[in-house]
């Protein structure tokens, strides 16, 4: 666990490709997707805050603070990062979506190490094929600039990241960042979860 790092788990999306279901509460192996993410991150950080805009009581059962966007139009993940990040007290924020259940056990350590080595305040995770923009480590001090970017109309995570010097850490296994966006991907995740975690078959 790294007390100087807090995690912001993004669960505030509208789940358009999941028939508008609250994606963080969709079950994988008998547990909500968000619970998988919290379980992966809890040993790596000092605190976890969940960004959610629906079913707040359900998310609160995880034992973490739950923070909705403070903007009525719900403009996307940047607003969730801002609201939840302001609730955290750590110097660094690890951001991850609620639909990435297999995150690396050394995610925080590697991103933090790269930030120190490169002298940057923003590090993104990736695999050999692509960068996963919504999985990042950032200095909490960047929240003021994030608020300014939102006020200027910025809505894309990648667009905001481009405003700052940053680095990328490439992990060898793409499966670590597998994300569940639709029913087909959920079915594939069930197979992956059983293989990795020996989840029993449910009749």
12 is in an annotated binding site: yes
Distance CA 171, CA 97 (A): 17
Strands 2-11 and 92-97: parallel
Task: Write out the H or E segment, with its range, that includes residue 67.
Answer: strand 66-67
DSSP-assigned states of every residue in 75-119: --HHHHHHHHHHH--SSEEEEEETT-TT--TTHHHHHHHHHHHHT
172 is in an annotated binding site: no
Distance CA 41, CA 143 (A): 21
99 is in an annotated binding site: yes
Nearest to 112 by CA among 131, 87, 130, 138: 138
CA atoms within 13 A on the CB side of 122: 16
203 is in an annotated binding site: no
35 is in an annotated binding site: no
CA dist 124 to 167, 185, 192, Å? 6, 23, 24
80 is in an annotated binding site: no
Residue ranges for the known binding site for Mg(2+) are 99
Residue ranges for the known binding site for GTP are 10-12, 23, 69, 99
Residue ranges for the known binding site are 10-12, 23, 69, 99
């Amino acid at each position: 666990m790294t007390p100087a790092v807090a995690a912001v788990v993004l669960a505030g999306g509208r789940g358009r490709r999941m028939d508008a279901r609250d994606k963080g509460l969709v079950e994988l192996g008998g547990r909500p997707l968000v619970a998988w993410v919290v379980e992966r991150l809890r040993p790596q950080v000092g605190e976890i805050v969940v960004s959610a805009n629906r079913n707040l009581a359900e998310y609160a059962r995880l034992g973490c603070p739950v923070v909705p966007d403070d903007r009525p139009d719900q403009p996307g993940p940047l607003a969730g990062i801002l609201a939840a990040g302001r609730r955290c007290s750590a110097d660094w924020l690890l951001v991850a979506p609620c639909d990435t259940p297999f995150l690396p056990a050394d995610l925080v350590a590697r991103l933090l190490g790269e930030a120190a080595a490169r002298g940057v305040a923003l590090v993104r995770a990736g695999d050999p094929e692509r960068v996963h923009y919504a999985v990042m480590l950032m200095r909490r001090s960047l929240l003021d600039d994030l608020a300014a970017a939102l006020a200027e109309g910025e809505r894309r995570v990648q667009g905001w990241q481009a405003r700052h010097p940053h680095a990328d850490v490439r992990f060898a296994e793409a499966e670590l960042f597998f994300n569940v966006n639709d029913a087909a991907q959920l079915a594939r995740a069930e197979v992956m979860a059983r293989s990795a975690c020996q989840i029993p078959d449910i009749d």
